[in-house]
Structure 1
Amino acid sequence: MSERTEMDTVQKDEPAVPDEAADAAPGRGGLVRAARARWQWIAVGALLLGACYAPFQLVPFRVFQFTMVLVYAVALLGLNLLVGHGGQISLGHGAFFAVGAYGTAIMMFHWELPYLLTLPLAAAAAFVIGLALGVPATRLRGLYLALVTLAIAIFLVPLLKRFESVTGGSMGLTLGKPQPPAWTGLAEDQWLYFLTLAVALAAFAVTYSLLRSRVGRALHSVRDNETAAEVMGVRPAFYKRMAFAWSALFAGAAGCLYTWVIGFVSPDSFTVNLSITLLAGLVVGGLGSMWGPLLGGLFVMFVPSLSQDVNKAAPGVIFGLLIIAVMYVAPTGLAGLAGRAVHSFDKTLRKG
């Protein structure tokens, strides 16, 4: 079956809109949906304006923290494609993050490449590795796939320490941070923030377009019912593998940004705890939601430090309790909690 026939089949799977709903669209329901869409775009615009204004009002340390939120949000965008939209599981996403980070560090430290050139190269390297490691995803699922991805995250750290002449071994590599052009008038932390913001906006735009395309519908059909998707002509193995590759690409780009912002890479920064923390951040933020990665980035950045402040002796305990508390209050994540609030607001408008 050709690729065109396959995509057309996916399109046919979309439920038809009942005549009654179409007739009612110009009425109150249509007005409510239009109003909600307008408010969503207004919210996005306000958030973007606030994001552009914030680095000029915050102290450098806070600017650094919000820069790292954007870095983690880009990584979680990829993980969301794989887990939230692809229906697979990965406990090794931190390994792809490390590929991007170390790839960037090696290109800047040993090859002296311009830092802007390292971003597409690091993302491409992670994409190729993700494409290769996506082969098990076509044959495994559930706990078996989780164990394979966990093994990748486990053996990465000793592998990085092994090639000391390239990776710096346990001591890692120290690099100079990208400096802002003189014409910008920006400080170093502000320049890194806007660089990261630009990459994050591009990543969100690409993800949004991808999920609204035939590829996104195919991913959802595989996630919801793999057998039914195959009967309709969708190739589950192909889309599972591509989900891994796209997920790795975003993680590699995030790893590149991490190296720019931190200026240092070390094997101990990319242990299996990073992969678990990223997955926990995505679940707390909201699986399958466009807002989930951003909320998850806030969680990954601020909750561990908050746990350390609350109890320096056992930050892991506080971190775990906070995750439990959030999931008890919002089982579908923080994005789901916000979605329920919007739904309640819609119901109020419809009754008015």
Structure 2
Amino acid sequence: MSTITAALGSDRARRLRAALTGLLAAAAAVGAPFYFAPFQVFQLTMVLLYAVALAGLNLLVGFGGQISLGHGAFFAAGAYTAAVMLDRYDTGHLATLPVAAAGCFVLGLGFGVPALRLRGLYLALVTLSFAVFLPPLLKRLQSVTGGSMGLTVDKLEPPAWSGLAEDQWMYFAVLAVTAVVLLLARNLLRSRVGRALLAVRDNESAAEVMGVRLSLHKTLAFAWSAMFAGVAGCLYTWVIGFVSPDSFSFVLSITLLAGLVVGGLASLYGPLLGAAFVMYVPSVSQDVSEAAPGVVFGLLIIAVMFAAPTGLAGLPGRVRGALARRATRAATLDRTPGAPSAPGANPKSLAEPGPAAVLTPAEPAAVDADPVGAPPRTEKE
């Protein structure tokens, strides 16, 4: 009974801590645009939209067990969908969001078919080829995409009743979409689809024996992931107001994957941390070395991977585990009698020798015993 009560108490305390953390994070997110400068607010906005793209990539790589080096192409598809609708058809900004999401979802369904027969490096190569050939294709479709010059569209303007500046309004709009996307990803992972994805990731054969349809869930993983990347691309068009093929090279896909790995695979907070890494580390690298920012960026990735192999999201757990192991080791040494290296042990007691051992001879030794090999004695001797 006491064990059940303790478990309920710890669960209640954990939920309370999670609620307080969520409230503090929400308060900080709402108050951020009123505290920082416009450029810093723009950077925070970019972090949020990159987090949307990484949340989709996390569904595929972290929870689905597949790999993709072509998510920059889905990002570009969503961005160009919004740009074409705003430039050619003069639609509203909000109308572009569901269209970009639906279009990239269908594109992900079609692209998920090769995932049924490919895996590992072969699947990575196919997805990378998609990211490589899309920018030249966008340049060829000049009548629609504007070719190499790209398209310039209007940014998301704040309404008069809001009383907000342009950067603040865009921040709140992107924040609202990001919150909805992260909540959707969280609920999706806790549903039957999410449990099926985890089963496929851990063991495909066992998942198939349990009744999981591998083809369906692998394709859906690509579709959901592409949809989130398309939403992030649409938000990019809202914020930047300009798209061009050179903005979506294959380097973007590799950067997104690196950001996810640094942030933490299969973690709900990993996309946010990875998005901050993708946004701020290149600028820090540029400040450190204007001649070779890529070298600094690569060295920082290596340093983070050595310090936190499971990503930044798993770093607090690793620190807590190390502290717990150290405390357990110290307690064990304290309970061990005569341990010289036990922390907190009394040096005086360690210096004092213990009681001497008492030796009990079995038989008294003969003092005048003949040496071995000596001749026998006579009576006279």
- TM-score, normalised by the number of residues in structure 2: 0.83
1:91 aligns with 2:48: no
Which residue pairs with 2:310 in the alignment? 332
Change (3 A) 1:101 1:30: same
The amino acid of 1:233's aligned partner reads G
- Of residues 300, 307, 315 in structure 1, which corresponds to 2:278? 300
How far 1:236 sits from its partner (Å)? 1.1
- Partner SS state of residue 178, structure 1: coil
d(CA) in 1 for partners of 2:207, 2:140: 44
Q: How does 1:1-352 map to 2 (within 5 A)?
A: 24-27=3-6, 29-341=7-319
- Partner SS state of residue 295, structure 2: helix
Aligned residues: 329
Asked whether the equivalents of residues 78 and 249 of structure 1 are also in contact (C-alpha less than 8 Å), the reply is yes
The amino acid of 1:24's aligned partner reads T
How far 1:31 sits from its partner (Å)? 2.5
How far 1:343 sits from its partner (Å)? 5.5
- Among all aligned residue pairs of Structure 1 and Structure 2, give the percentage whose two residues are the same amino acid: 64
Asked whether the equivalents of residues 32 and 349 of structure 1 are also in contact (C-alpha less than 8 Å), the reply is no
How far 1:216 sits from its partner (Å)? 0.7
The answer for unaligned runs of 5 or more in structure 1 is 1-21
d(CA) in 2 for partners of 1:302, 1:215: 34
The amino acid of 1:165's aligned partner reads S
d(CA) in 2 for partners of 1:82, 1:62: 31
Q: Deviations over 1:49-108 (max 9, x none)?
A: 100001011110000000000000000000000000000000000000000000000000
d(CA) in 2 for partners of 1:115, 1:347: 53
Which residue pairs with 1:4 in the alignment? none
d(CA) in 2 for partners of 1:25, 1:261: 51
d(CA) in 2 for partners of 1:244, 1:349: 44
The structure carrying a bigger helix percent of its residues is: 1
The amino acid of 2:94's aligned partner reads L
Q: Deviations over 1:192-214 (max 9, x none)?
A: 00000000000011011111111
The answer for unaligned runs of 5 or more in structure 2 is 332-381
Higher relative contact order (CA 8 A, sep 6+): 1
d(CA) in 1 for partners of 2:320, 2:9: 15
Q: Deviations over 1:276-327 (max 9, x none)?
A: 0000000000000000000011001001111111111111110100000000
Which residue pairs with 1:9 in the alignment? none
d(CA) in 1 for partners of 2:159, 2:317: 41
- TM-score, normalised by the number of residues in structure 1: 0.90
